[in-house]
Structure 1
Amino acid sequence: MRTTDHRTPSPSPTPAPPDGGQLCAPYAEALLRHAGRDWLRLNVPGHAAAPGSDLAGLFGSRITALDFPPLLDGIDLGRDTPLDRALALAAEAWGARRTWFLTNGASQGNQIASMVAPALGRTLVVQRSVHSSVIDGLVLSGLDAVFVQPSVDPEQGIAHGVTAADVAEALERTPDAAAVYIVSPSYFGAVADVRAIADTAHAAGVPLIVDEAWGSHFGFHPGLPANALCAGADLATSSTHKLAGSLTQSAMLHLAEGPFADLLEPLVDRAFRLVQSTSASALLTASLDLARRSLVTAADATGGSIEAADRVRGAVRALGRFRVVSDGFHAFPDIVGADPLRIAIDTRAGGITGHEARRRLFRDHQIMVEVATDAAVVAVIGAGSVPDTARFVEALHTLPSPLTTDPAGAGVGTAAAAAAAAAGMLRLPAPGATKLTAREAFLSPALVVAAEEAVGRISADTLAAYPPGIPNVLPGEVITAEAVRFLQRTAAAPNGHVRGALDLGVTRLRVVA
């Protein structure tokens, strides 16, 4: 959509925050008061907070007592409810015109954002390394897509971001663009120049949508990057449960007070109602309210988390066996910053693959890291959390170097081990040619064929190495032999998984008939 209408948006219908401001958690507090009354519960959920139930035995009676359905007077029903006030406080905290609480994760936010785009144009200009939920949104919306290729670190085999110049070039060849859709930060913590990309999108008359799933904590401490809305984004998905402290599967969608707010707000609201459960979890909703309060009022705690992450990186550099991935970010023009709460360690430099390092940390040291690739592991520290970083550093450096012994049993040096790891490292496959839209391919008659027979045919599914969930094959793209090899090797790796695959080994694929 091309427009030059940059009128000042009308005031938000969201009510003003309560007198207590960000110190309050109005929804969570109202829920707690409600649970404290002596109810005879003859409604759903079916457990009805039964004190002797298996649920109460596992989670405790407080959890089941707080598990109320929606549409309750004094909580979320009526005018100026505690839920309304909680949403207003969240919008204020993130600098948004309006915020929606999501109980199906940031994936739901990405689907909503994709679904509103057809009202703006026919083609989405989208970063190729978006999360698979954005592609799911393309299936729902039926939009065409012009993909902007991210930079790829050939040493690590990971995708980073896109530049404003990349986006400008894509917009030049897309006269019917609906919006620009990017990811920042990346799974490895790389931060894009959102301001420059927003300016480029706005100059072309289209909004910028940012999948900020991994940056829900941004902007809440001087040591953190600014959030996407402050940098000019029009719509941002925030996976609040990841690093901002809410319960798993809870997230937010934020609309900026910008040139497209009047147009986007009713569209987003309608799409939200289309995909949000009519039985949204009170527990997840309350956790969003509490996470917002903690982020705003406990900046010192977030500072402690940043210091803890810095200690890990400092120790890794000092000990010299492994490398810090973000130390190489300066070589990529699309990266302008890094998330300090994300610790990506190049394990291959120390003679062990990331997958093997993750497996041994889990099995031998009871340490869970977020993700592993062939070359690295990624650990994260949630805002406000200060884990035992010394334990992680010690365990990391006691890992064996499996690659330091050749098949005949002779020892080899660390440099040789690193070279051997690099030689066998999984490389991100280049995407195949696009032949159909995601929706056309997904809804077309399809066949299931052996993986080797699928090469050269059009995929009917999204296939993504998970985590991070960045699609390697999209519906409508030609399946390549390189992609099949990558996905099968990913599936065979410890903790490897391919989202969308028909079987664990990716031996069969669904193709357009």
Structure 2
Amino acid sequence: MSDATTPRTGPSEQPTAPYLDAVVAYGFRGPGRFHVPGHKGGPGADPGLRYALGDRVLGLDIPQDIHGVDLGPKPTPYERAEALAAEAHGAARTWFLTNGATQGNHALCLALAPLGTHVVAQRNSHASIVDGLVLSGGLPSFVAPAYNSELGMAHGVTPEALDAALAADPDARVAFLVSPTYYGMAADVAALAQVAHARDVALVVDQSWGPHFGFHPDLPESALRLGADAVLTSTHKIVGSLTQSAMLHVAPTGRIDPAAVGRALRLLRSTSPSSLLMASLDGARRQLAVHGEALLHETIAAAKATREKLATTPGIKTIDYDMVGRDGVAAYDPLRIVLDTRGTGCTGYQVAEALRNAYDVQPELATVATIVCVLGVGQSPEALVRFAGDVDEIVKRISTPDATPIQALVRSPDALKNEMVMAPRDAFLGQSEVVNLEDAVGRISCESIAGYPPGIPALLPGERITAETAEYLRELVDSGARLHGAADPTIRTIHVLAANVG
């Protein structure tokens, strides 16, 4: 697959899906399959798998380097597909990713933050940013997102906070930020881009939760069109491609060299990428570009009606447009239904568990104070009506409004002020040992640990563990929060740099 300059496409080509069409044509024309994979389009697969997936899917599972698909006259169908995605998103160059936005974050860290390069990263960036810095050897400093202590909810980074972080680390060459959040709150990307560019810093935005942004007037604008220099979109999360597929877009600003990003991606990607994942990206792009506005119009209207219905359920509040204008929130994504459950006297965990047990309703996320539901571009209005009724029935059944008010979280981790004393790469790859948490004070962490809520890491590789941090981690566990990244989720023990190293 080529990393050459994106070929030009005509304005009428968005209704086509060149890679998907080429894969389909190859899969069903009856070729002699004397190449991998071993199932040979179905006959060699386990009968149970053939029954579950069907020979149509197995017939499309083809390898890289098939003539007429991603080899042959230029531009190949694969190159045309990526070019159409770049055109649809307003990018200078777009890559299809088959290991999620994680792959994109790793590539951007390798390309933009090589050994010893200073970067500023949002404290609650996806774990793949820290992992990417472990791979690349970049040296991070962190900027805290705005924080809602009542709900235990992290928002976006404010322009003022980014400016202060960049002033504190004048050697930083790139800023890695997140917009929107898990909860659908978008940061002021245009202002953040101005702050970064005024200091000659490239802005990378993890827009994984907003792959549909910019494709309907009632949605937030895409970060790429607001001035970001590179943007990640997890197409599978909302737009309809298969799980594990995503896109990486580099803007035409010139601050990021597409060739450097392509070189890093060649290092990271499999030589056997899934044709099914990439074909799904091509199809999802076509649907979003051609029919996205109409589909989104119906979904946004259905979501609005659902929020209005939920507002009549005692003890339930919806968290949406009222947040806009608060620190770190410039816009709201209506393809998120976020419920504040505190008025029911029950935690979000309890309400979510009751919904699963009674109606097989599966929310995306539950926290102490909230439930988060993620909608797709073509969400069924009937399913949303049913969901609102299910919540209403469950709340009537389990609510205890006279109970002690639910506390969202013990406190924010922002005040911990952890000291980064070693590059994450050196700490993660260094010789480690497991010690009891109380014995870890003063030692250097080899782990990345974040509590959900609020999703802000309390500890990162290379940071020195303080007594306050150890106490905070215990409070997280005692409050019912889940620890992501911890080798021991009970936090009785923790991996630290070996004594003879630190």
Q: When the two structures are superposed, what TM-score results if normalisation uses the length of structure 2?
A: 0.91
Question: Which one-letter code corresponds to 2:200 in the other structure?
Answer: G
Question: Residues 306 and 482 from structure 1, CA distance in 2 versus in 1: closer, same or farther, beyond 3 angstroms?
Answer: farther
**Which residue number corresponds to residue 191 of structure 2?**
196
Matches for 1:375-414 after TM superposition, within 5 Å: 375-387=369-381, 388-400=383-395, 414=401
For residues 473 and 454 of structure 2, what CA distance do their matches in structure 1 show? 18
For residues 246 and 100 of structure 2, what CA distance do their matches in structure 1 show? 5
Question: Which one-letter code corresponds to 1:57 in the other structure?
Answer: Y
Deviation (angstroms), 1:356 = 1.2
Could you tell me whether the CA contact under 8 Å between 1:374 and 1:426 is conserved in 2? no
Could you tell me whether the CA contact under 8 Å between 1:18 and 1:85 is conserved in 2? no
**Match of 1:221, SS?**
coil
Deviation (angstroms), 1:340 = 0.8
Question: Residues 470 and 297 from structure 1, CA distance in 2 versus in 1: closer, same or farther, beyond 3 angstroms?
Answer: farther
For residues 332 and 19 of structure 1, what CA distance do their matches in structure 2 show? 39
For residues 393-440 of structure 1, the C-alpha deviation after alignment (integer angstroms, 9 at most, x for no partner) is 1111222579866xxxxxxxx2x43x4312x74544344332222112
Could you tell me whether the CA contact under 8 Å between 1:131 and 1:469 is conserved in 2? no
**Which residue number corresponds to residue 239 of structure 1?**
234
Matches for 1:132-211 after TM superposition, within 5 Å: 132-211=127-206
For residues 421-474 of structure 1, the C-alpha deviation after alignment (integer angstroms, 9 at most, x for no partner) is 12x745443443322221121122111122343344321011234698653321
For residues 30-55 of structure 1, the C-alpha deviation after alignment (integer angstroms, 9 at most, x for no partner) is 10000111133232112222346332
Could you tell me whether the CA contact under 8 Å between 2:97 and 2:247 is conserved in 1? yes
**Which residue number corresponds to residue 410 of structure 1?**
none
Is 1:421 matched up with 2:406? Answer: yes
**Match of 2:394, SS?**
coil
**Which residue number corresponds to residue 433 of structure 1?**
419
**Which residue number corresponds to residue 31 of structure 2?**
39
Question: Which one-letter code corresponds to 1:23 in the other structure?
Answer: P
**Which residue number corresponds to residue 258 of structure 2?**
265
Deviation (angstroms), 1:511 = 0.9
**Which residue number corresponds to residue 450 of structure 2?**
464
**Which residue number corresponds to residue 323 of structure 1?**
317
Q: Which residue of 350, 357, 364 maps to 1:356?
A: 350
Q: Which residue of 16, 21, 26 maps to 2:13?
A: 21
Q: Which residue of 457, 460, 484 maps to 1:474?
A: 460
Is 1:292 matched up with 2:292? Answer: no
For residues 237 and 253 of structure 1, what CA distance do their matches in structure 2 show? 5
For residues 117 and 236 of structure 1, what CA distance do their matches in structure 2 show? 13
Q: Which residue of 340, 349, 368 maps to 1:346?
A: 340
For residues 83 and 138 of structure 1, what CA distance do their matches in structure 2 show? 30
**Match of 1:125, SS?**
strand
For residues 142-181 of structure 1, the C-alpha deviation after alignment (integer angstroms, 9 at most, x for no partner) is 1111211111101011111111111111112222111111
Deviation (angstroms), 1:19 = 7.2
Task: Name the stretch that deviates more: 246-255 or 313-322.
Answer: 313-322
**Match of 2:285, SS?**
helix
Question: Which one-letter code corresponds to 2:138 in the other structure?
Answer: L
Question: Which one-letter code corresponds to 1:92 in the other structure?
Answer: E
Structure 1 regions of 5+ residues with no counterpart?
1-11, 406-413
**Which residue number corresponds to residue 97 of structure 1?**
92
**Match of 1:335, SS?**
coil
For residues 286-313 of structure 1, the C-alpha deviation after alignment (integer angstroms, 9 at most, x for no partner) is 0000110111111111111111211121
**Which residue number corresponds to residue 485 of structure 1?**
474
**Match of 2:212, SS?**
coil
For residues 466 and 68 of structure 1, what CA distance do their matches in structure 2 show? 39
The share of aligned pairs that are identical, in percent, is 43
Question: Residues 105 and 486 from structure 1, CA distance in 2 versus in 1: closer, same or farther, beyond 3 angstroms?
Answer: farther
**Which residue number corresponds to residue 454 of structure 1?**
440
Question: Residues 486 and 291 from structure 1, CA distance in 2 versus in 1: closer, same or farther, beyond 3 angstroms?
Answer: farther
**Match of 1:23, SS?**
coil
Question: Residues 321 and 93 from structure 1, CA distance in 2 versus in 1: closer, same or farther, beyond 3 angstroms?
Answer: same
Matches for 1:47-62 after TM superposition, within 5 Å: 47-51=39-43, 53=46, 54-62=48-56
Deviation (angstroms), 1:314 = 1.4
**Match of 2:376, SS?**
coil
**Match of 1:379, SS?**
strand
Could you tell me whether the CA contact under 8 Å between 1:126 and 1:182 is conserved in 2? yes
Could you tell me whether the CA contact under 8 Å between 1:87 and 1:100 is conserved in 2? yes
Is 1:308 matched up with 2:302? Answer: yes
For residues 401 and 485 of structure 1, what CA distance do their matches in structure 2 show? 34
Q: Which residue of 207, 225, 228 maps to 1:212?
A: 207
**Which residue number corresponds to residue 268 of structure 2?**
275
Could you tell me whether the CA contact under 8 Å between 1:31 and 1:66 is conserved in 2? yes
Deviation (angstroms), 1:486 = 4.7
**Match of 2:129, SS?**
helix
**Which residue number corresponds to residue 8 of structure 1?**
none
**Match of 2:312, SS?**
helix
Is 1:510 matched up with 2:491? Answer: no
For residues 84 and 463 of structure 1, what CA distance do their matches in structure 2 show? 39
Is 1:76 matched up with 2:70? Answer: yes
For residues 477 and 483 of structure 1, what CA distance do their matches in structure 2 show? 15
Is 1:65 matched up with 2:50? Answer: no
**Which residue number corresponds to residue 103 of structure 2?**
108
Deviation (angstroms), 1:327 = 4.6
Could you tell me whether the CA contact under 8 Å between 2:20 and 2:282 is conserved in 1? yes
For residues 175 and 425 of structure 1, what CA distance do their matches in structure 2 show? 34
Could you tell me whether the CA contact under 8 Å between 1:131 and 1:471 is conserved in 2? no
Could you tell me whether the CA contact under 8 Å between 2:409 and 2:453 is conserved in 1? no
**Match of 2:209, SS?**
helix
Structure 2 regions of 5+ residues with no counterpart?
none
Task: Name the stretch that deviates more: 469-478 or 287-296.
Answer: 469-478
**Which residue number corresponds to residue 117 of structure 2?**
122
Could you tell me whether the CA contact under 8 Å between 1:458 and 1:511 is conserved in 2? yes
Question: Residues 448 and 359 from structure 1, CA distance in 2 versus in 1: closer, same or farther, beyond 3 angstroms?
Answer: same
Question: Which one-letter code corresponds to 1:488 in the other structure?
Answer: V
Could you tell me whether the CA contact under 8 Å between 1:351 and 1:402 is conserved in 2? no
Question: Residues 33 and 403 from structure 1, CA distance in 2 versus in 1: closer, same or farther, beyond 3 angstroms?
Answer: closer
